[in-house]
Amino acid sequence: MNETATEGEGRGGRRARGGGGAARRAERSAPRLEAARYIARNIPNFEILTSEAIEIIEHNAETVLQEIGVNFVDNPEALQRWRDAGATVTGERVRIPRGLARQLCATAPSQYTQVARNPERNVVIGGKNLILAPVYGPPFVRDYEHGRRYATMADFEKFVKLTYMSKWLHHSGGTVCEPTDVAVNKRHLDMLYAHMRYSDKPFMGSVTEKSRAVDSVKMAEILFGRDFVAENAVMTSLVNINSPLTFDSIMMNALEVYAEANQACIVSPFIVGGAMAPVSVAGTLTQVLAEVLAGVAYSQLVRQGAPVIFGAFVTSIDMNSGAPTFGTPEASKILWGAGQLARRMNLPFRSGGALCGSKLPDAQSAYETSNTLNAMLLGGVNFCLHAAGWLEGGLVASFEKFVLDADQLGVLHSIAEGIDISENAQAMDAIREVGPGGHYLGCAHTQANFKNAFWRTQVLDYKPFEQWSDEGGRDSYRLAHLRVERLMSEYVAPDLDPGIDEALKDYVATRKASEPDAFA
C-alpha cells in the first residue's frame, strides 16, 4: 500500500514547535490517523477512442473555435486579451483561429504540486497520479436520523472533519456543502477557515465572486505566508464553463484572480448531455474540447505558466423527465474520451466522482457511483472532485454515503497498484508447500503476507448470516451511520499555530463586519 501513517496530533498542542510533556501525552492519547498517499497508478489507462477518432474530434473542436467561437460575457478585459492574442472579437464573441488556442495552452504545466499545510499531505496533480476530494456544492444534506434538510455550517465542518479522518481522501475539497445558515457573501470565509483549521489536507478557494477569490488568496497568505503563496500552488479552485461555449464574468474573474496569484484552477465544462451539449458522445467531446481549449488558453493569457486542469463534468439526461442521470454508459464513454484528449494536451485531467441520481444511499446510488468511480480510475483522471458523499444529482451531501464512498476509494488505491510480480508474489513455494487438495490458510507464505494481501473494508458487512440477523439485519445505510458516529466521536483537530489561527479569525471577523449580510 502506498501510504504514510502519521500520529493524530494533540488537542491544541504545539507538537510542531516542540511542546512540553502535556503535549506529548496528548499525542499519545490521540487516535492513530492513517492517511494514504495520493494514487500513483501502476496500471494502464483505458483508451476507448482510436487515434482516427481523436483526430476528427480535435479537428472539429478547432473548427468550433474558429467558425462558431465562444462568448466571454461582461468581460471587456478578457476580450482585449483575446484581441491582443490574435483572435477575432465581435461583440462578446471570440473566434479563435485554428491552432491558436492549443498553442497558448502549451505553457500550462503538465503537472503541479498543490501544497498542504502538512507537507505530508502535498499532492502532485498530473501524470499518472490521482487525487481524491469530497463532494462539492450541495445545498442539502441527508443523514440517517434526520433525513434531508438544508445544509448548515455545522454540517460543513462535519464533512471537513470526516474528510480529514478518511484514509483514502487526499484533499479537503471546497464547498463540501453550502452552509445556508451563513450569509451568501460571507460563508466563503467560514468555509475557508474550516478547511484551514479542522484539516491539514489541501483545499480549494472560493469562486463565486471576484472578491471571494481575493479573500481566499489572502487567507491562504495568512496560513502559508505571503511569499510562499506567490511561489507555490496552495489552492486548486473550480471554474465552471457555462456550456455551451460561454465564459461568464464571475467564473472568469475568479480564474483571473487565481491565475494572477499563480494558484491553480480546474477549467471545467459543466454539461448535462442533450441540454448543454449534443446528445451524441462524439459531439459532446468536441464541445468539451473546444471549451477547455478556450478556457485554458485564456488562463495562459492571464499568466503564462499558471497551473490549470482540463475538467469535464458530464452527465446524460433522462429524456422523459429532463433529469440529469449518473453512472450511465454515455458518461463513462465521455470520461474516457475526454481523458485521452486531456493527455494529448499534456494537462492534468479532472472528471468523475461518486456521482449518482438516487435520493438515498441505496443500491441505485451504489451502482451509479461505482460505475463512475471505476470509469474514473481507469480513465486516467488526475483530480477527482465529488469522490465521496454525493447524493441526488449533487443536490444532497450525505454523511452515510460519504463513508460508504470513502471506503470504496480504498478499492481504487489497491487496483491502481497493479499486479506485483516479485518472487514473493509469485508464491511458487506456497503452491509447492500446499499441493493438490491442501489449503493455504496456514502455509508460510500466507502467514507472511496475509496482513497486506487484501484490501479491507471499514464499513461493509462480512458476517455470517445468523450473526448479522441476530444483530438486527442492518443494511449499509444503517452500518454507515454507525461509522459516521464513531468517526466523529474520535475526531481530534490537527495542530495549528495559535498565532495563525488568531490571524485567520481576525481576517474573517473584519471582512464580515465590513459589509451587510446578503442572502442572494
Q: Rule CB under 8 A: which of 359-418 touch a copy of itself?
A: 359-371, 374-375, 378, 392, 395, 401, 404, 408, 411-415, 418
The SS3 assignment for 454 reads: coil
> CB-wise, 274 or 307, nearer to a copy of itself?
274
User: In the complex, what is the shortest distance from the CB of residue 425 to a copy of itself, in angstroms, rounded to a whole number?
Assistant: 4
Largest CA distance in the chain: 79
| Number of residues near a copy of itself (by CB under 8 A) | 129
Contacts of 101 (CB under 8 A, 6+ apart): 62, 65, 293, 294, 296, 297
CA angle 147, 148, 151 (to 5 degrees): 125
By CB under 8 A, is residue 428 in contact with a copy of itself?
yes
Name the β-bridge partners of 99: none
**224, 155, 221, 149: which is closest to 190 by C-alpha?**
155
- Count of C-beta atoms within a 10 Å radius of residue 138: 25
Query: Which of 437, 472, 499, 516 is in the footprint of a copy of itself by CB under 8 A?
Result: 437
Query: Which of 426, 488, 502, 515 is in the footprint of a copy of itself by CB under 8 A?
Result: 426
By CB under 8 A, is residue 325 in contact with a copy of itself?
yes
User: In the complex, what is the shortest distance from the CB of residue 151 to a copy of itself, in angstroms, rounded to a whole number?
Assistant: 15
Query: Which of 5, 16, 22, 68 is in the footprint of a copy of itself by CB under 8 A?
Result: 68
By CB under 8 A, is residue 283 in contact with a copy of itself?
yes
Ranges within 285-324 binding a copy of itself (CB under 8 A): 285-287, 316-323
Query: Which of 174, 273, 389, 394 is in the footprint of a copy of itself by CB under 8 A?
Result: 273
The SS3 assignment for 484 reads: helix
Nearest-angstrom CA–CA distance, 160 and 175: 10
The SS3 assignment for 272 reads: strand
Query: Which of 173, 179, 205, 274 is in the footprint of a copy of itself by CB under 8 A?
Result: 274
- Count of C-beta atoms within a 10 Å radius of residue 468: 14
Q: Which stretch binds a copy of itself (CB under 8 A): 152-160, 186-194, 252-260, 461-469?
A: 461-469
Q: Which stretch binds a copy of itself (CB under 8 A): 117-125, 239-247, 481-489, 502-510?
A: 239-247
C-alpha cell at 371: 460505475
Residue 80 contacts residue 86 (beta carbons within 8 Å):
no
By CB under 8 A, is residue 53 in contact with a copy of itself?
yes
Bond preceding residue 436 cis, omega within 30 of 0? no
Element (H, E) at 110: none
- DSSP state letters, 21-52: HHHHHHHHHSPPEEEEPPEE--SPPP--S-HH
Nearest-angstrom CA–CA distance, 116 and 99: 36
By CB under 8 A, is residue 278 in contact with a copy of itself?
yes
Ranges within 77-96 binding a copy of itself (CB under 8 A): 93
By CB under 8 A, is residue 430 in contact with a copy of itself?
yes
> CB-wise, 16 or 428, nearer to a copy of itself?
428
**211, 141, 190: which is closest to 391 by C-alpha?**
141
Nearest-angstrom CA–CA distance, 331 and 371: 9
Q: Which residue has the cell 502535556?
A: 22
> CB-wise, 9 or 368, nearer to a copy of itself?
368
Query: Which of 4, 29, 63, 103 is in the footprint of a copy of itself by CB under 8 A?
Result: 63
By CB under 8 A, is residue 221 in contact with a copy of itself?
no
Ranges within 482-511 binding a copy of itself (CB under 8 A): none
> CB-wise, 49 or 292, nearer to a copy of itself?
49
Give the contact letters, 139-158, x = binds to a copy of itself (CB under 8 A), - = no.
---------x----------
| Conformation bin of residue 222: beta by default, left when phi > 0, alpha when psi is -120 to 50 | alpha
User: In the complex, what is the shortest distance from the CB of residue 84 to a copy of itself, in angstroms, rounded to a whole number?
Assistant: 21
Ranges within 179-218 binding a copy of itself (CB under 8 A): none
Query: Which of 145, 465, 489, 520 is in the footprint of a copy of itself by CB under 8 A?
Result: 465
- Count of C-beta atoms within a 10 Å radius of residue 242: 17
User: In the complex, what is the shortest distance from the CB of residue 22 to a copy of itself, in angstroms, rounded to a whole number?
Assistant: 37
Q: Which stretch binds a copy of itself (CB under 8 A): 216-224, 258-266, 356-364, 506-514?
A: 356-364
Nearest-angstrom CA–CA distance, 315 and 368: 11
User: In the complex, what is the shortest distance from the CB of residue 427 to a copy of itself, in angstroms, rounded to a whole number?
Assistant: 3
Q: Which stretch binds a copy of itself (CB under 8 A): 24-32, 41-49, 103-111, 213-221?
A: 41-49
Name the β-bridge partners of 124: 113
By CB under 8 A, is residue 463 in contact with a copy of itself?
yes
- Count of C-beta atoms within a 10 Å radius of residue 254: 26
Nearest-angstrom CA–CA distance, 8 and 242: 42
